[in-house]
A = this chain, B = another copy of it.
Amino acid sequence: MRLTDQEFNRVLVLKKLRASEPVARTDLVGLTGLTGGTITAITADLVRRGIVIEEKVATSGPGRPRVNLRINPQGRYVVGTTPTNEGELLTEIVNLRGESLGFAKAALTRDTTIEGLARQFITALEQALAEWDVPREEIYRIGIGIPGIVNNRTGIVEHIISLDSGPVDFGGIVGEALGVATLIDNSTNLLARAEHWYGAAAHADDFTLINIDLGIGAALYRGGQLVTGVHGMAAEFGHTKVVPDTGRACYCGGIGCLQAYCSVQSIMEQSCAQLGRPLPDFDRMNAAFDGLMAEQAAGRIDIGPILEQASHYLGVSVANHITMQDPEAVVILGPKFTMIEELRSIFFDALERNTFPALRRRTRLHFKLGDKGAYARGAAAMVLEQIYRCS
């Protein structure tokens, strides 16, 4: 659905304000290309709603002093919640600046249905809210990140891997039980929203986020909006093929998926096979991976070739993506192995050699360790993006 000019302009003002705060109205004129009168009208509305606050600024020259605008840290509180691969439910309350005001972690028991998962969400959320002592009416939205296929307009979860499939009105169920409106999206999309509003891509309208965890997820922003694909399943970056036909098998049934080389799970599989160790359980995998990395750093094992191969193929895949899409930036959230200088240089080497020459070194690249608060920030970002759409 295309945004109207009005929605677009309002979100534009909010984005520029967020990305450059504190900022005066005059600056927003330049940043947005709108006229002063329009900025006055839009910011007045934002101030009236309590989303933005004014802030006197120490004056310095002649003329009427500028009034700085900022996102109101007490304006709206948003709860973000996501299940992790470790079988936990992370819940965090943030303000619209993306600042955390409370964090909770609950254990999830293995469930077989999506409805069962929803019930666990409800219990955990109720507990977290009680713990933080936040009255419900102070919570503006609950943002839910789902590691699966979601319709972010209807709140309906279509599919979560290893759970009974079938559409479930997840957002509706959780929202009704808690008496708070929900927003729902794929968890990788939340990470991308967080980067777009609060992170490395705060000034980029066309960027790609790649999240390396047990699996590999990606999300695309184009023209300042998240791209979902006609079936809502774009950006399955982990399942693009880097070694077609002859490569490693992937759980998706394909051969040579990037995910079969570069995900934490596949690195663990290869490493455990090499070392003759048993593969840890799914929910211990990330911890075991950290342990392995420590052993590797200490020189007690040598899984160097596996990590090098992972870095190499990540470079190849990102190169292909850049060649095809020419984005402004690529943000790679990853586990520690992406932080090792030597592996990083293997990545960059593969990236450079495999990118179409005219596009080499022209794309901004950011590496970050994934932080768990990002999901809640993503939920807050979703509120900011949709604030003029659902009211």
What residues make up the interface of A, taking CB atoms closer than 8 Å to B?
2, 4-5, 8, 149, 159, 206, 218, 222-223, 227-237, 239-245, 252-255, 313, 316, 319-321, 323-328, 350, 353-354, 356-359, 362
The answer, among B149, B240, B326, for a CB contact under 8 Å with A233, is B326
Query: Which residues in B have their C-beta under 8 angstroms from that of A316?
Result: 241, 244-245
Q: Look across to chain B and name the residue whose beta carbon is closest to the beta carbon of A320.
A: B240
Q: Are B235 and A206 in contact (CB under 8 A)?
A: no
Q: Look across to chain B and name the residue whose beta carbon is closest to the beta carbon of A159.
A: B358
Q: Are A241 and B354 in contact (CB under 8 A)?
A: yes
Query: Which residues in B have their C-beta under 8 angstroms from that of A353?
Result: 254-255
The answer, among B233, B245, B321, B350, for a CB contact under 8 Å with A356, is B233
**Shortest Cβ distance from A119 into chain B, in angstroms?**
26
27 pairs of residues in contact across A and B, judged by CB atoms under 8 Å: A206-B229, A206-B230, A227-B325, A231-B326, A232-B326, A233-B358, A234-B324, A235-B324, A235-B326, A236-B356, A236-B359, A237-B324, A239-B323, A240-B320, A241-B316, A241-B354, A242-B244, A243-B244, A244-B313, A244-B354, A253-B357, A254-B354, A254-B356, A254-B357, A255-B354, A320-B320, A321-B324
Query: Which residues in B have their C-beta under 8 angstroms from that of A243?
Result: 244
Q: Look across to chain B and name the residue whose beta carbon is closest to the beta carbon of A256.
A: B354
Alpha-carbon gap, A244 to B252, bound state (A):
22
Query: Which residues in B have their C-beta under 8 angstroms from that of A242?
Result: 244
Q: Are B241 and A320 in contact (CB under 8 A)?
A: yes
The answer, among B149, B228, B245, B324, for a CB contact under 8 Å with A240, is B324
Alpha-carbon gap, A229 to B313, bound state (A):
23
Query: Which residues in B have their C-beta under 8 angstroms from that of A8?
Result: 2
Q: Are A323 and B356 in contact (CB under 8 A)?
A: no
**Shortest Cβ distance from A321 into chain B, in angstroms?**
7
Query: Which residues in B have their C-beta under 8 angstroms from that of A245?
Result: 316
Extra inter-chain contacts (17) besides given A149-B358, A231-B326, A255-B354, CB under 8 Å: A2-B8, A5-B5, A222-B227, A227-B325, A230-B327, A233-B326, A234-B324, A235-B326, A240-B324, A241-B320, A243-B244, A244-B316, A244-B354, A254-B353, A254-B354, A254-B356, A255-B353
Q: Look across to chain B and name the residue whose beta carbon is closest to the beta carbon of A6.
A: B5
Alpha-carbon gap, A10 to B175, bound state (A):
40
Alpha-carbon gap, A131 to B323, bound state (A):
42
Alpha-carbon gap, A321 to B356, bound state (A):
16
Q: Are B230 and A356 in contact (CB under 8 A)?
A: no
Alpha-carbon gap, A233 to B319, bound state (A):
14
Alpha-carbon gap, A2 to B240, bound state (A):
31
Query: Which residues in B have their C-beta under 8 angstroms from that of A236?
Result: 323-324, 356, 359
Alpha-carbon gap, A233 to B357, bound state (A):
11
Residue of A222, A244, A313, A319 most packed against chain B (CB within 10 A):
A244
Q: Are B231 and A359 in contact (CB under 8 A)?
A: yes
Query: Which residues in B have their C-beta under 8 angstroms from that of A241?
Result: 316, 319-320, 354
Alpha-carbon gap, A253 to B242, bound state (A):
19
Alpha-carbon gap, A266 to B229, bound state (A):
32
**Shortest Cβ distance from A197 into chain B, in angstroms?**
19
Alpha-carbon gap, A324 to B253, bound state (A):
17
Alpha-carbon gap, A244 to B247, bound state (A):
12
* The 6 nearest A-B residue pairs measured at CB: A229-B326, A234-B326, A240-B320, A239-B356, A236-B356, A244-B316
Q: Are B324 and A231 in contact (CB under 8 A)?
A: no
